[in-house]
Amino acid sequence: MGTFYNLGSILSGMMNNGGTQQMNPLLQMASKMLTEQGVNGQSGLADIIAKFQQGGLGDIAKSWIGTGENQSVSAVQISSILSSGKLSEIASNLGMSREDVAGGLSKILPELVNHATPDGHVPESNDFISNALAMFLKK
């Protein structure tokens, strides 16, 4: 029950409550990061997982992909993995501070990656990732 409760809390915090069920802009940006074209033609998801591995946080990212419990990640760790330019770009687009963006991503990314990898591995197709995230976000 803990996982579903945490997921529900995260998602309800990500939704705007203006009578519409539009996604929070940070959730939209995080989804876009996972589905956009990454380095060397790989998916954005594969690119982010590679950054976690290169930054010494591969075990955390692997827990999101695997079928077990997701390990948490801190805002400081997100800041160390994503370039300050990327965080600044997102912050500027959303009118948020870089610290708030990193804090939000620390809560959003584990669940998004978990649902984008239902078979326990990183899909090669951006279309598959997009479809998996779209189905998850409609729930």
> pLDDT for 35-73, tens place per residue?
887 767 778 899 999 999 999 999 999 999 978 899 999
Give pLDDT, residue 23: 55
Domains with residue ranges and CATH for the chain? 25-138 (1.10.10.690)
Question: Taking 60 as the threshold, does the pLDDT of residue 8 lie above it?
Answer: no
Give pLDDT, residue 3: 37
User: Other CB atoms closer than 10 Å to residue 129's CB: what's the count?
Assistant: 25
